[in-house]
Amino acid sequence: MVNLTIDDKQVTAPKTATIYEAAKLNGIAIPILCHDKKLKPFGACRMCLVEVEQMKGRQIPACTTPVTEGMIIRTSTPDIVKARKMVLELLLLNHPIDCPVCDKAGDCDLQNLTYEYKVDANRFTDEKFHHEIDYNNPLIERDMNRCVLCGKCARICDEIVSFGALTFISRGIETKIGCEFDEALNCEFCGSCVSVCPVGSLLARPFKFKARFWSLTKNKSVCGYCGTGCNLTLGVKDNKVLTTLYDENQGFHNGQLCVRGRFGYQFINSDKRLTKPLVRKNGKLEEAGWDEALELVAARLKDAGASTAALATARLTNEELVVFKQLLQTAGCGNYDHSAGYAHAALTEGFAGSFGASASPSTILDIQKSDLLLVIKTDAYETHPVVGFEINMAVKNKGTLLKILTDKSGKLSKLPDARTLVHTPGSEIAIINSLAKVILDNKLVDASAAALPGYAALEKELAAFTPEAVSAQCGLTAVEIKLLASAYATAEKALILFPVGQAYPGHTAALANAVANLALLAGKLGKEGGGVLCLSEKNNSQGAVDMGFQAGIGAGRIIDGCADGSITTLFLAGENPLVSYPDHARVQAALDKVEFLVVSEMFLTETAAMADVVLPVCSFAEKEGTFTATDRRVQHIKPAIRKVGQSRSDFEIFGALIAKLGGVAPGTPASVFAEISATVPGYTGMSYASLGVEGQFAPVELKPAFVMPNAPAVTVEPGKLALVTGSALYHNGTLSQYGEGPMHVCPEGYVEISRADAAASRFAENDLLTVSSAGGSMKLKAHISARMPQGVVFAPYHFGANPVNQVWSGAPVTWITLAK
Amino acid sequence: MDQILFKHNRPDRVISFDEYCAESGFRALRKALTGMSPEEVQQATIDSGMRGRGGAGFPTGKKWSFVPRDLPGPRYLICNCDEMEPGTYKDRVLLEKNPYLLIEGMALAGYALGVEHAFIFIRRGYELAAENLRRGIVEAERAGFLGRDILNSGFSLSLEVHQSAGRYICGEETALMNALEGRRANPRAKPPFPAVKGLWGQPTVVNNVETLANIPAIIDKGPAWWKSQAATPDAAGTKLFCISGHVSITDCFELPLGMTLGEIIDGPCGGMRNGSNFKACIPGGASTPYFTKEHWNVPMDFDPVAKAGSRLGTGGIVVFDHNTCMVAVTLNLVRFFARESCGWCTPCREGLPLVQHILERIEAGYGEPPDIDILHEHVRHLNHAFCALAPGAMGPVDGLLRHFKDELSEHISGKCCPFRRDTTHTC
């Protein structure tokens, strides 16, 4: 700490602080335009000028100048005020001053500072800019006439997003922020640039002319898409979520969001939302009252008893899952599951065996503290973009080494010094076993490992996984495997990341065991910045595991049970298996066969359309409860708007049904959370108050052991292409189809093929190709890219209109042919 | 006075490597590498009183002493040859006649600093100079004066010529480093200073061509001899003055530092052109406030010029006679700076075009009395810019306001430029 004087006040500040940070820490506000705490100091706008006595009374920028011991600083002398006014006058010289029609009005730094410094007239005159406004995409409007050239957009796109869509072009007064060759913006549309823009140059088009900033109610919430658990601020007016607002102090991510978090909220107030219960009458779904619908469901549950089964989405709150379980138990139903069964197996079976706990031992906060990140599949960026930003920052700012083990390269591969090892699809478990083998052979084993249960057995079982043997089937050389193993083992703090989800059937319990073995052997657990983090797919995937929403025969066999008649009644809470579960024909046949299908849903999904009763439920923005993020951060959500139409929360629906079945309906979400905190390991002692705004980590108690994973044999079908499924950039499950942002970035399914394969078959971009597998065939547009290795194709799974499960039967690798 | 930098010059061509060697070329390097420690080379530079010839006049040896020797990783030396200040062309003349002095100077500086890789960042337009340097480097490498283990001393240095993509701002040392790294040539915030964190984040020294070209003489003949080549006891060494404007002979002269302005104009420049009268001059490149007749006897050395309210800068003297409109001169200069602003910080990007427009208005006869106040305010305010470009741009405006206020007022009250009254321009 250093001592300094700011405006006659004796204060202390950390050695590394800038004058601006030191002042802020001590409650002294210095005006800024170009500074952002997430970005590197810039010093361009000259609003933050202060006087430092030791520097001959010169005016220096507070945002770039580090503090030194004994500094005497003045932040607002008459001279400084004059200089700041001058800066504002100069900025307003070319600015259009079109505040009445600017969406930024009320939230605009330039406007607020102009007001604060009482710049009521401009002594200067000059011509206004006449830059053409970029309306070329539906999400981000770029009006460079309003720009103050703070550079924050270009900097965030480079420093955090690592896309680099924006930059300064030209010089002098003609300087502006532009894209490649001064063309239209064409990027991932995460909107980070919009969030940091201090003026109205970059605006969210979906929000344009929807409301004035000051008329919005700002409600804190948690994003309802992926397992990252980003904090959101929803802008609400007239019971509608009209936008998401940027709050740089929110969450570990400092308000940073991806395209679905920022531009994917439209599903909340979508016209397509179901507002009334639907009951099938004479073969058609017709609107009905809640009493009628619930009565029908209750009667059916009573009758069906043990032949009932249920599948839930991992988007329900913890409390809803607990109450759903209670309902099913009341009804005598012993078969329920979530996430297609296999998408949580890495946790429920894998980590449970290896760590003695169904949760990841590490958190997202470890990423930036690590020395080496081993990322399995670059999809970590696509499935969890904000985790991707953390990886970007670790690599670019902290010099963290990045190693990627993947079946295709991706955006993470482009980071500085990133080493991408592209392997044959389906061989990742064998490779990780081989890494463990190298660590064993090279005596890189941590001292703690030998004492763990299963060590001797592992040593024996790994004998077959020499790098030489594995390299023969995985597409990597033995040297590559050895180098990766020694880099991993010798890093002081190393963290392994891998995504799981319905599109990653290969990321199984066995992968989790293999990864855990590697981390345990090398002694990477228990250190800050080291360990293993499994990135779960939905916003409450970890919660569904923690709540134990899984009993009986499992999701796959529930579907089979419907088909063979052993299950007569199926209750689907938010799950859309027709699109997201493997093998479309099999799911279709099962849902056709099942006698009674109840679906609680926000939308009339492909699955809901087949139901006998559809119960309209509300979104995360309309309910209360808790979500558990992928790193076991438990977060509290409160309603931001009243429930849309007659929709009810799943909590209310399940409670009403319990009552109708003669049970005791739960009280409130709060009382259920109290029950959870009393019974669920790790949640002990939690309360809404202790969760606070940013949530609380549920500790994971580890009882490590070595569990030998079964590495599936890598098969190859000559003459065919290996289809791997996954998440498209910025989609998540099937919900993101109802968000404008994700649908702009990626509106429909596609099949991504390598240039070499495309050239060999003379496929062109956007050609409609017939994809045929043993399971069926479908048509998908061709997308040719440099990132795919020859012989491997990729298809995302989110799209209900043309789901990829028509050709994909749940195998990690599906062998297909393509034809025009 | 002896010539130091132009001593070897051939009138019509570049000196050859053999000729340079024959005229005791690379003797200083041999002397340093065989008999002097790097610290001694640095100390000699400090003792010589050498001040940087690029414009700011910072003591060169002191600059070197700021470089921490204990940080891991390489250190870099960059020669700033992005000479683009209007009125300045000394580095071009020097390098077109003799690239070897710079090469030897850089080898000596590299030895003093413990640098293994040095760059010459040269202006895009200086094709001949760049060609001379490239050839010179190859010749020096072949002769063992560059490359690995120079003269069996264990010291290695590779020298690389980088031709700038070309912009005035590239001459600002931190913008230059950004340009060299392949980034947009914006200046960087200081601190950290380049001596600690410069090129690719490593300790870096940036010196001007003329500065480095003087090092061989300092080492060869000793700092005391070198210092004594100046015209006054306070000054040190010689200086390349490049003269342009309304004098009889415009050329680049090597003259003792500390000669008065009058001695320079009446001496080597042969007096004013065609009997015209001296009105003013830019004393040290476009960013320095004007000198007038009252400064005729000011010694052209760093401190005396600063004391007289201007800067010696690069030594690029532009002389104006009595028929010159100083508003037009200032406008011309400000136009250059406004165009060359990198656009990074508000005062420079927005303020310079505004000053330009005001001067345009005044010159065209549309000026208003408050314009003078606005100009005054900008002279002060542009000091708060990110780098030295904007304060430098205000040098001539400052000079205009201090020395030619009446001429400025005359423009405004007469609603036209008084120097155009008798030409085709009608007011």
**How far is B194 from chain A, CA to nearest CA, in Å?**
15
Confidence of residue B420 (pLDDT cuts 50, 70, 90): confident
Residues B45 and B218 sit within 8 Å (Cβ to Cβ): yes
Do the chains contact at B374 and A124, CB–CB below 8 Å?
yes
For position A180, which CATH number holds?
Answer: 3.30.70.20
Chain B, nearest residue to A62 by Cα: B189
Residues A52 and A96 sit within 8 Å (Cβ to Cβ): no
Do the chains contact at B346 and A58, CB–CB below 8 Å?
no
Do the chains contact at B340 and A171, CB–CB below 8 Å?
yes
Tell me the pLDDT tens digit for each residue of A688-728. 999 998 899 999 999 999 999 988 888 889 999 999 999 98
CATH architecture entry for B238-321 = Roll (3.10)
All residues at 6 or more sequence positions from A513 whose CB lies less than 8 Å from its CB, including other chains: A350, A353, A354, A707, A708, A709
Q: Does residue A678 sit in helix, strand or coil?
A: helix
Tokens of B318: 């532009």
Residue B423 pLDDT greater than 60, yes or no: no
Which of A166-170, A605-609, A789-793, B69-73 has the weakest average pLDDT? B69-73
Tell me the pLDDT tens digit for each residue of B18-55. 999 999 999 999 999 999 999 999 999 999 999 999 98
Nearest by CB to B347, from A90, A94, A149: name it: A90
Looking at residue B421, what is its pLDDT? 58
| C-alpha–C-alpha distance, residues A419 and A487, integer Å | 11
Tell me the pLDDT tens digit for each residue of A622-642. 999 999 999 999 999 999 999
Residues B393 and B285 sit within 8 Å (Cβ to Cβ): no
**Residue A170 resides in a domain:** yes
Q: Does residue A775 sit in helix, strand or coil?
A: coil
Tell me the pLDDT tens digit for each residue of A168-191. 999 999 999 999 999 999 999 999
| C-alpha–C-alpha distance, residues B175 and B183, integer Å | 9
Residue A502 pLDDT greater than 80, yes or no: yes
**How far is B203 from chain A, CA to nearest CA, in Å?**
19
**How far is B373 from chain A, CA to nearest CA, in Å?**
11
Do A330 and A455 fall into the same domain? no
Domain assignments of chain B as residue spans, ordered by start: 17-227, 238-321, 326-420
DSSP for A402-427, please give it.
Answer: EEEEESS--GGGGSTT-EEEE--TT-
| Residue owning tokens 């760059």 | B119
| C-alpha–C-alpha distance, residues B345 and A86, integer Å | 13
Confidence of residue A729 (pLDDT cuts 50, 70, 90): confident
| C-alpha–C-alpha distance, residues A798 and B175, integer Å | 47
Nearest by CB to A49, from B189, B350, B384: name it: B384
Q: A280, A285, A336: which is closest to A573 by C-alpha? A: A336
Distances (CA, A) of A756 to A719, A769, A784, A785, A816: 14, 16, 9, 10, 17
Using an 8 Å CB-CB cutoff, list chain A residues near B382: none
Instruction: Go through A403-420 and write b for each residue having 16 or more CB atoms within 10 A of its CB, e for each that does not.
Output: bbbbbbbbbbbebeebeb
Q: Does residue A315 sit in helix, strand or coil?
A: coil
For position A421, which CATH number holds?
Answer: 3.40.228.10
Residues B396 and B282 sit within 8 Å (Cβ to Cβ): yes
All residues at 6 or more sequence positions from A747 whose CB lies less than 8 Å from its CB, including other chains: none
Tell me the pLDDT tens digit for each residue of A342-363. 999 999 999 999 999 999 999 9
Chain A, nearest residue to B340 by Cα: A172
Residues B198 and B189 sit within 8 Å (Cβ to Cβ): no
**Residue A182 resides in a domain:** yes
All residues at 6 or more sequence positions from A794 whose CB lies less than 8 Å from its CB, including other chains: A408, A723, A724, A725, A726, A751, A752, A788
List the domain range (segments joined by +) for residue A407: 367-531
Chain B, nearest residue to A84 by Cα: B381
Q: B204, B185, B28, B56: which is closest to B117 by C-alpha? A: B204
Domain edge (last residue) among A44, A76, A108: A76
Q: B216, B174, B203: which is closest to B344 by C-alpha? A: B174
| C-alpha–C-alpha distance, residues A69 and A593, integer Å | 78
**Does the interface predicted TM-score (ipTM) exceed 0.85?**
yes
Residues A731 and A381 sit within 8 Å (Cβ to Cβ): no
Do A492 and A583 fall into the same domain? no
For position A61, which CATH number holds?
Answer: 3.10.20.740
Looking at residue A55, what is its pLDDT? 85
DSSP for B37-63, please give it.
Answer: -HHHHHHHHHHHT-B-TTTT--BHHHH
Bridge partner list, A405: A376, A421
DSSP for B124-165, please give it.
Answer: TT-HHHHHHHHHHHHHHHHTTSSBSSGGGSS--BEEEEEE--
| C-alpha–C-alpha distance, residues A567 and A563, integer Å | 8
Do A516 and A566 fall into the same domain? no
Q: What mean pLDDT is predicted for residues A565-594?
A: 96
CATH class of residue range B17-227: alpha beta
Written in H, E and C, the secondary structure of A339-383 is CCCHHHHHHHHHHHHHHCCCCCCCCHHHHHHCCEEEEECCHHHHH
Residues A405 and A376 sit within 8 Å (Cβ to Cβ): yes
**Residue A82 resides in a domain:** no
Domain edge (last residue) among A222, A244, A267: A267
Residues A657 and A333 sit within 8 Å (Cβ to Cβ): no
Backbone angles phi, psi at A550, to 5 degrees: -165, 120
**Residue A180 resides in a domain:** yes
**Residue A635 resides in a domain:** yes
Q: Does residue A219 sit in helix, strand or coil?
A: strand
Using an 8 Å CB-CB cutoff, list chain B residues near A151: 344
All residues at 6 or more sequence positions from A376 whose CB lies less than 8 Å from its CB, including other chains: A404, A405, A406, A428, A432, A496, A497, A498, A499, A507, A511, A515
Residue % of chain B over a pLDDT of 70: 98
Do A239 and A301 fall into the same domain? no
Do A250 and A315 fall into the same domain? no
Nearest by CB to A175, from B167, B343, B357: name it: B343
Residues A259 and A741 sit within 8 Å (Cβ to Cβ): yes
Looking at residue A122, what is its pLDDT? 83
| C-alpha–C-alpha distance, residues A71 and A2, integer Å | 9
| Residue owning tokens 């009804």 | A331
| C-alpha–C-alpha distance, residues A39 and B349, integer Å | 22
**How far is B415 from chain A, CA to nearest CA, in Å?**
19
Strand B278-282, strand B252-256: pairing: unpaired
For position A575, which CATH number holds?
Answer: 3.40.50.740
| C-alpha–C-alpha distance, residues A547 and A360, integer Å | 15
| Number of domains into which chain A is organized | 5
Residues A652 and A290 sit within 8 Å (Cβ to Cβ): no
**Residue A100 resides in a domain:** no
CATH class of residue range B326-420: mainly alpha
Q: What mean pLDDT is predicted for residues A23-43?
A: 94
Tell me the pLDDT tens digit for each residue of A45-83. 999 999 999 887 788 999 999 999 999 999 999 999 999
| C-alpha–C-alpha distance, residues B287 and B313, integer Å | 8
Q: B419, B393, B395, B424: which is closest to B408 by C-alpha? A: B419
pTM: 0.92
Strands, E assignment, A661-761: 696-697, 721-726, 750-754
Residue A764 pLDDT greater than 90, yes or no: yes
Residue % of chain A over a pLDDT of 90: 92
**How far is A240 from chain B, CA to nearest CA, in Å?**
39
Tell me the pLDDT tens digit for each residue of A541-556. 999 999 999 999 999 9
Looking at residue A741, what is its pLDDT? 84
Residues B164 and B121 sit within 8 Å (Cβ to Cβ): yes
Mutate to test the interface with A, among B384, B386, B387, B394 (most CBs of A within 10 A): B384
Residue A14 pLDDT greater than 70, yes or no: yes
Residues A135 and A185 sit within 8 Å (Cβ to Cβ): no
Tell me the pLDDT tens digit for each residue of B18-28. 999 999 999 99
**Residue A351 resides in a domain:** no
Do A621 and A731 fall into the same domain? no
Which amino acid is located at B25 in the chain?
Answer: G
Looking at residue A382, what is its pLDDT? 86
All residues at 6 or more sequence positions from A666 whose CB lies less than 8 Å from its CB, including other chains: A319, A322, A323, A326, A651, A655, A658, A672
Do A522 and A557 fall into the same domain? no
Residues B70 and B197 sit within 8 Å (Cβ to Cβ): no
Confidence of residue B1 (pLDDT cuts 50, 70, 90): low
Domain edge (last residue) among A697, A730, A762: A697
Residue % of chain B over a pLDDT of 90: 92
On average, the pLDDT of chain A sits at: 94
Do A400 and A506 fall into the same domain? yes
Q: What mean pLDDT is predicted for residues A453-472?
A: 94
Do A725 and A748 fall into the same domain? yes
Do A315 and A373 fall into the same domain? no
What stretch of H or E contains B76? strand B76-81
Measured CB to CB, residues of chain B less than 8 Å from chain A are 167, 169, 184, 186, 189, 191, 338-347, 349-354, 357, 370, 374, 377, 381, 383-386
Do A378 and A308 fall into the same domain? no
A481 or A746, greater pLDDT: A481
Looking at residue B422, what is its pLDDT? 53
Tell me the pLDDT tens digit for each residue of A253-275. 999 999 999 999 999 999 999 99
Tell me the pLDDT tens digit for each residue of A518-533. 999 999 998 999 999 9
Do A388 and A517 fall into the same domain? yes
Chain B, nearest residue to A173 by Cα: B349
**Residue A711 resides in a domain:** no
Confidence of residue B275 (pLDDT cuts 50, 70, 90): confident
Residue A126 pLDDT greater than 90, yes or no: no
Bridge partner list, A736: none
Instruction: Go through A124-135 and write b for each residue having 16 or more CB atoms within 10 A of its CB, e for each that does not.
Output: bebeebebeebe
Which amino acid is located at B265 in the chain?
Answer: I
Residue % of chain A over a pLDDT of 70: 100
